[in-house]
Chain A
Amino acid sequence: MNKRELEAAAQSELERQKKFCHRVLCCNSTSCMSAGAGEVLKTLQQSVEDNNLQKEIEVSPAGCMGLCSAGPMVTVQSSDSENTLYKEVSPKVAKEIIESHIVKETPIDDNIIPSDFPFFAKQMKLVLAHSGLINPARFEEYVALGGYNALAHVLRDMTPSEVCETIHKSGLRGRGGGGYPAGLKWNLVRRSQGSHKFVIANCDEGDPGAYMDRTLVESNPHQLLEGMAIAGYAVGADQGYIFVRGGYPGASKRLDQLETAIRSAERNNLLGGRILNSKFGFRIDLRVGAGAFVCGEETALMASVMGRRGQPVPRPPYPSDKGLWGYPTLINNVESLSSVSTIINHGAENYSKIGTTGSKGTKIFALAGQLKYTGLIEVPMGITLREIVYDIGGGMLDGRTFKAAQTGGPSGGCIPAEHLDIEIDYEKFREIGSSVGSGGLIVLDNQSCMPDLARFFMEFCMDESCGKCVPCRVGTRQTYDILDNITKGSATMDDLVKLEDLCIMMQETSLCGLGQAAPNPILSTLRYFRDEYEAHIKDHFCPATECKITKSPILDLVNGKG
């Protein structure tokens, strides 16, 4: 395939779609599937058949539409009007969508999401632009929306150093949590000497509650492949790996999807040798992890790809110098790589106009917690936390008040109400003791117990520690035990001193980011909610009610319940 054939393929797909008066897209991402989207899709197809409308209506699975808490979601595209978005679609509603909305032109008001719905109004969908509008299994649909144009443009009109420069100018920073400038990293790998080079897409995504990368891969796999091929061209690599987390329900489905996407890209000469008739060749293969959080850490990830125990090694040497099998290796997060085609298509200047001085572009968050609306959101950097919570999230659930937002999962920290007006920005978050992280955003209400939150995340880190270095292996266990005692009301003030001491030690002496960042939730909850810790210790009392001790154990003893 060459550039002209790519355009022809896009054209013929558009024409195919035009033949239908309506396209009904049913979200088939993990969250909607677990809410019953499989059945909904079947019902949609069945009622199209029952009404003999196969020529007029196309029913198709699609990616995530955003409002995951109100799934299953369905979008109706009509040739003569705007898209209609439906929430909470049951098989019964699905039947009505075909028979009432489409045939009788009377939409089902109960399930419709109005086009000015605040959840969507403040978002800016760049990386998720096509998510929910295409069938991820069909390569043609991505191409019809301009897919692989960026790759064709880069291969024809740009040198590798120009590509790196463009990424650098865009201000894109690593979305995997560290926020390292992507352009700098690409240039490092480009300048590294090596007879081979590799590109790895990090799709380990182990933070509890985060599903940004999973959704990107599920909803638009070709966007990732295109980004990886551009990265490969820019740094001089000929082989890419997608490191996917395995070992959880639904993993094999995702792998099949990715495999299909890679194969169809190869068949169409967009991966493999001499891509788009250029001199550049690039292959992509999948590597499956066994489901360990630490394998998201780049050196552990590479060990796992090479078939070893997923365990970090000290850096330097950095992967950009000596990575897979000793060759220079570029490791980027799925969201970083999925942003690449957008940057090339829209131009680095336009991308860098979005955001703050230090943080550019858009960021995807998995918004969760005690909010009216939750789901996957993409917002411009620089938007305030208040806007996310109260406009996009629709505010707290009835009767609850905002207490704090936990960002960055087990490596991040909490942001209390006094900082609600903080802008989404890597440095500003760091200043107040939290981190943007990879995009988990959990909103907590006044009933959440902060020591219990810290305990939850420490338990996660304790279970996920690889056990290589002493501060993390034993430190996570010891801090967990202290936190457990605090939440049970049986700790002393001495324990609190011990806890803080150990936290600082773990931060400074652990080998990898897991151990170094594991104490962050403790330190940030201590920073803003120390009184809660002290209440547990001194008064044997939990000011919130979600915690295990709601009453003093001594009181229980006095009452004869102890």
Chain B
Amino acid sequence: MTVVTLTVNDELISANAGQTVLEAVRDSGGNIPTMCHLDGLSNYGGCRLCLIELGGSPKLSPACFTQVQEGMVVFTHTDRLIKYRKMVIELLLSERNHICAVCVMNGNCELQAMAAELGVDNVRYDYLSPKLAMDASHELFTLDHNRCILCRRCMRACDEIEGSHVWDISGRGIDSMVITGLNMPWGESDVCTKCGKCVQVCPTGALSKKGSSVAEMKKDPVCLRWVLDGRQKGIWDYEKRATRLAQV
């Protein structure tokens, strides 16, 4: 594998050709904030938190999509970027209804953690507070649109890992909403396998297990890597397992 060298915040790091800047920076121990990205899922590029500056370009680039190149000069935490990241979180918080004190994810929420990490201590924009319905028709899970940040992780997990494609988006712009099935109550979708991956990967309290009360919902998005590793190793594949067992 070809190795390339790039400069990140004035330090040299090496990376494998074909990696994204996000992967390279994280592999070398650094960090770039992300929200819509999740290891194991395809990239989406919607949250714009991972924007970075590239030397020689006035444009900002999403780290989750940008491929490393030899000699690339990357800045991940300039004043401009930090300011914009805060604004993204402010916009997200203003969009729907994020009253942590009464949320099942309080204390475990990625949005909340990100706001704290980036130092978002107030929201300058008016809260739009749309009054959106909840969907509790599923026997195991609940969907609360009021907490959804439209990151589409649920959609990608269900489509790409579980292979069900229960989730999609209806409407556009500020009226976008996640939907289940053909815009039917979740409980009526007969393609949902009830695996719960969407719930595990959802960064906020939008998807939760039924019965969880305030601050009781904990999620494990890393489960995806686990599923994928298992699939690669053929844990659920009888033939592969037999040969592997034979080898032991």
A interface, CB within 8 angstroms of B: 292, 294, 309, 313-314, 462-478, 481, 498, 501-502, 505, 508-511
Contacts and interface: CB of A to CB of B under 8 A. Distances in A.
A474 B179 CA distance: 19
A314 B174 contact: no
Given A313-B45, A498-B124, A508-B60, A465 B51 contact: no
Interface string B207-244: 00000000000000000000000000000000000000
A498 B88 contact: no
B164 to A, nearest CB: 18
A6 to B, nearest CB: 46
B175 A470 contact: no
A471 B124 CA distance: 14
A462 B176 CA distance: 12
B91 A469 contact: no
A467 B45 contact: no
A309 B149 CA distance: 19
Contacts of B169: 309, 467
Interface of B: 44-48, 51, 59-60, 62, 65, 80, 83-84, 87-88, 91-92, 94-95, 124-126, 128, 149-150, 168-169, 171-176
Contact of B88 (A466, A471, A481): A471
B173 A465 contact: yes
Contacts of B48: 469-471, 509-511
Contacts, number: 90
Given A314-B45, A508-B84, 8 more contacts: A309-B169, A466-B173, A467-B169, A471-B48, A474-B125, A505-B87, A511-B45, A511-B48
Closest 7 CB pairs of A and B: A467-B176, A465-B173, A474-B91, A477-B174, A314-B65, A314-B45, A467-B173
Contacts of B124: 498
A477 B59 CA distance: 24
Contacts of A474: 91-92, 94-95, 125, 174
B125 A478 contact: yes
Contacts of A471: 48, 87-88, 91
A473 B47 contact: no
Contact of A475 (B46, B91, B149): B91
A508 B168 CA distance: 28
A510 B124 CA distance: 19
A473 B174 CA distance: 5
B157 to A, nearest CB: 17
B45 A477 contact: no
Given A470-B47, A471-B88, A478 B94 contact: yes
Contact of B172 (A465, A501, A505): A465
B174 to A, nearest CB: 5
Contacts of A498: 124-125
A469 B46 CA distance: 4
Contacts of A502: 87, 125
A71 B124 CA distance: 51
A477 B88 CA distance: 13
A313 B45 CA distance: 7
B129 to A, nearest CB: 12
Given A470-B88, A478-B126, A511 B173 contact: no
Contacts of B172: 292, 294, 464-467
Greatest chain A CB density within 10 A among B174, B175, B176 is at: B174
8 contacts: A462-B174, A463-B173, A464-B172, A470-B46, A470-B91, A476-B173, A477-B128, A478-B91
Contacts of A464: 172-173
A509 B173 contact: no
B87 A469 contact: no
B6 to A, nearest CB: 17
B46 to A, nearest CB: 5
A467 B171 contact: yes
A468 B36 CA distance: 11
Nearest to B87: A505
A464 to B, nearest CB: 7
B18 to A, nearest CB: 13
B173 A473 contact: yes
Contacts of B65: 314
Nearest to B60: A508
Contacts of A294: 172
Contacts of B62: 314, 511
Contact of A469 (B47, B168, B171, B175): B47
Given A505-B87, A509-B84, A470 B92 contact: yes
Contacts of B150: 467, 473
Given A478-B126, A498-B124, A509-B88, A469 B174 contact: no
B120 to A, nearest CB: 13
A502 B174 CA distance: 16
Nearest to A512: B45
A508 B48 CA distance: 10
A473 B125 contact: no
A49 B36 CA distance: 69
